[in-house]
Amino acid sequence: MLRAALAAICTCSYVATAFAVGAARQAPLFRTGVDVFTVTAAVTDGRGRLINDLAREDFALHIDGQPEAIIDFSTAPVPVGIAVLVDAGPQMESGGLVGRARNIAKDLNKLIGTDDRLLVAQFFSNGVEVLQDWTADRKLLDRAVDRIGKNIPAVRPGKNVRGNDFCTRRNEAVLKASEQIAKAPTEHRAILVISNGKCDNSRLDSSVLVQVLRATDVAAYAFGVSESIASEPFCPPDRVCTFNGPQGMPTFADCAPQGPGVPCYKDGASRIATSYDPVPLRMITDKTGGRTEAVHDAKQPLARLLGELGKQYVLKYAHARTHETRWREIRVETPGKPYFVLSRTGHAVRPSATASP
């Protein structure tokens, strides 16, 4: 598996071109040394509701920290393909976390459009299992989701079995999903991992996985699940917890008055520290243009994700043609407006097929 991953990096030519959410698709429209790239974005208000009536002049685009002119703008919806990877490892058995992960997958199934496609897979101590290939058939998807966490092959104790061998191989699961992405019959594609981020036994290093995902322009997202406890509020009732503190934990400074977030509680915060670890998930998502967020009620985060992937704003910019593959940082803003923009934080740029050496 590791050898295959390294091979994928070495062959990151135009062949390995699976486009993800908001994938900056290369469309060489000019022969004057300039290529055109696409960035998609969703915009929400303070309550997490999608805003869909903005114009081109409401946006500002920055590439690698520098202002970039938006040369084309539209709001046409684009079909989305999401490979859903659910952690079914032993650390997810306590607190009903597998059940919560199933519910998130089912909520996503209810929200997708008729042209969208999902792939459902689970990963565990012994490997990865694709439960349902790409489809929009809600009945097939629900049946696949119902099988998550069931009939998992057990790791039997033995003299060569260490305690960590009972943990999941998350990175290998994400790698397999990236291989399946190319088969999705949609333009915008991404990987969504649902996990508590703990008990990982991956043989594939996260840095290598990130290089593979960048080479194929696949963005990974993660929803962190944890046991929920309702007790003394960590933040005031009119605020949400953004989980931007050390190690992904909430701090009082993170009780934002508006924007994407989740309700959190003082007891819940300490419980989240033991049952949800965002750090290993962010090592993958943040470096491939996606993000990790703690999920309490999944409906709004899922709606934001779908909006970001293909049902909101499409911005295009022109940039000088490159002769080597490189990573570009992306930032989209709505200056002067009290909104939050959700978009990829970066994308891979490959040499144009028409670029001269």
Note the CATH architecture for domain 80-154+161-230+261-309: 3-Layer(aba) Sandwich (3.40)
d(CA 20, CA 18): 7
Beta-bridge partners for 240: 256
- Tell me what pLDDT residue 76 has: 74
Predicted confidence (pLDDT) per residue in 243-253, tens digit: 444 444 444 44
d(CA 128, CA 174): 9
Predicted confidence (pLDDT) per residue in 275-293, tens digit: 678 888 999 998 888 888 8
d(CA 186, CA 311): 13
Least Cα distance to 355 among 324, 328, 326, 327 occurs for 324
What 3-state DSSP class applies to 87?
A: strand
Beta-bridge partners for 229: none
Task: Supply the angle between the helices 97-111 and 299-306 in degrees, to the nearest 10.
Answer: 50
Count Cβ neighbours within 10 Å for each residue of 252-268 and write b for 16 or more, e otherwise: eebbbebbbbbbbbeeb
Which residue ranges does the chain devote to CATH 3.40.50.410? Answer: 80-154+161-230+261-309
Residue 67 CB burial class (10 angstroms; 0-12, 13-18, ≥19): exposed
Least Cα distance to 134 among 80, 194, 76 occurs for 80
- Tell me what pLDDT residue 310 has: 76
User: Which residues lie closer than 8 Å to 156 by C-beta, 6 or more apart?
Assistant: none
The per-residue pLDDT of the chain, averaged, comes to: 75
pLDDT for residue 106 is more than 70: yes
Read off the pLDDT of each residue in 229-246 and give the average, rounded to a whole number: 46
Beta-bridge partners for 73: 315
Backbone Cα Rg of the chain: 20
pTM over 0.75: no
Predicted confidence (pLDDT) per residue in 5-23, tens digit: 444 444 433 333 333 333 3
Percentage of the chain lying above the pLDDT 90 cut: 30
DSSP for 218-283, please give it. -EEEEEE-------SBSS-TT-EE---SGGG---GGGEESSSS-B--BHHHHHHHHHH--HHHHHH
Predicted confidence (pLDDT) per residue in 203-216, tens digit: 899 999 998 888 87
- Tell me what pLDDT residue 118 has: 96
Q: Are 215 and 105 in contact (CB under 8 A)?
A: no
Pairing verdict, β 219-224 and 188-195 = parallel
